[in-house]
Structure 1
Amino acid sequence: MTTPELAPRGLFGGVIAVWIAGGLTAIAIGVFVPLEWRAAWLTIGLGACLLLAFVVQLTAGRSKGFIDRVAGSVLGALLVMGIISAGFGLAALFQG
């Protein structure tokens, strides 16, 4: 029988970490990938964020709210990557 944690650590930091990783991935894709390949690479980057979200939440070792934390991580990464890629798309539109 296990004893409950007296002061469980916050798990929201892992969600934010995946959002930051998604933002950095989107920026790297926007800078280094040619325009015609960005959509494909953003899909791959979002898949990597999904895997990262699973790894981060599994290392936390808490099962309560696991699906909610993974969903929040991936949804936030999707929104961050979408906003950054929209910025790169508008920049490409007005560039030339």
Structure 2
Amino acid sequence: MSEPALAPRNALVGVLAVWAVALVASIAIGIFVPEVYRVQWLLVAFGGVVLLSFAVQLWHGRTQGFILRVGGSAIGALLLMGMISVGFGLAALAS
């Protein structure tokens, strides 16, 4: 028999951690990567963030809501990275 966890970890912390990694990665890519290669590196970073979201939610150890947490992590990171890349694109047009 499995015993319920007495104090389960907060699922929102894992989602926010993935979003924070996506934020830092997209800003670092925007600063350090030349404009020609930004889109490719943002795609690579997003793939890494999706894998990270799976890893974080598997480490969480709860099966209830797994798909919802992974989906929230991935979609939130996609929207965050998309908004930042739009900002860098507009900055490139302005200069």
TM-score band, normalised by shorter chain: over 0.9
Aligned partner of 1:80 in structure 2 is 80
* Structure 2 segments unaligned to the other structure (5+ residues): none
* Structure 1 segments unaligned to the other structure (5+ residues): none
Aligned partner of 1:69 in structure 2 is 69
TM-score normalised over the length of structure 2: 0.95
Within 5 Å, give how 1:33-44 maps onto structure 2: 33-44=33-44
**How many pairs align?**
95
Separation in structure 2 between the aligned mates of residue 12 and residue 75 of structure 1, nearest angstrom: 14
Within 5 Å, give how 1:47-66 maps onto structure 2: 47-66=47-66
- Please tell me the residue identity of whatever aligns with 2:26: A
- Please tell me the residue identity of whatever aligns with 1:22: A
Aligned partner of 2:22 in structure 1 is 22
C-alpha deviation, 1:4, in angstroms: 1.5
C-alpha deviation, 1:6, in angstroms: 3.6
Separation in structure 1 between the aligned mates of residue 7 and residue 35 of structure 2, nearest angstrom: 48
* Cα offsets for 1:11-57 (capped at 9, x unmatched): 11000100110011100110011111111111000000001101100
What value does the CA root-mean-square deviation take over the aligned residues?
0.9
State percent identity of aligned pairs. 55
C-alpha deviation, 1:9, in angstroms: 2.5
**Ranges of 4+ aligned residues in structure 1 off by more than 4 Å:** none
